[in-house]
Amino acid sequence: MYVCVHVVPDQQMIFNGTDGPCGVGVLKSIGGVGGSKNNEHAKALFALIKDHLGIAGNRMYIEFIDIGAADIAFNSRTFA
pLDDT digits (tens, 9 = 90+) for 30-60: 999 999 999 999 999 999 999 999 999 999 9
| CATH number, domain 1-21+29-74 | 3.30.429.10
* Domain boundaries along the sequence of the chain: 1-21+29-74
**Cβ contacts of residue 64 below 8 Å, gap of 6+?**
27, 29, 33, 34, 38, 41
Q: How far apart are CA 26 and CA 46, in angstroms?
A: 12
Question: What does the longest C-alpha to C-alpha distance in the chain come to?
Answer: 43
Read off the pTM: 0.88
pLDDT digits (tens, 9 = 90+) for 11-31: 999 999 999 999 999 999 999
